[in-house]
Amino acid sequence: MDINNIHRLDGAIFFSIANERLRLECDSLESLMAHFDLDDEQIRDKFNDIGCEYDPLTNQLKLK
């Protein structure tokens, strides 16, 4: 599944893929966005849609 089309992904699937990539490949949210060429506004909108936020201390998305 392609994370670059986040507007089409179900929220739970996006949440899972993003956390997996943060755990295995990316050391920050900025790194994740750069790696997949994601737009900051687009990814923040997705976070709001699914009710999560990025925690830089644990480098993962967490539900609010």
For residue range 19-40, what is the model confidence (pLDDT) as tens digits?
A: 999 999 999 999 999 887 888 8
Beta bridge partners of residue 62, listed in sequence order:
53
Q: What is the per-residue pLDDT for 5?
A: 74
pLDDT of residue 55: 97
Please count the structural domains in the chain.
1
- Give the domain extent around 34: 3-63
How high is the pLDDT of residue 8?
Answer: 83
**pLDDT value of position 15:** 92
pTM of the shown model: 0.84
Report the pLDDT value the prediction gives residue 42, as an integer from 0 to 100. Answer: 83
Band of pLDDT at residue 4, cut at 50, 70 and 90: low
Q: DSSP assignment of 15-64, as one string? A: HHHHHHHHHHT-SSHHHHHHHTT--HHHHHHHHHHHTEEEETTTTEEEE-
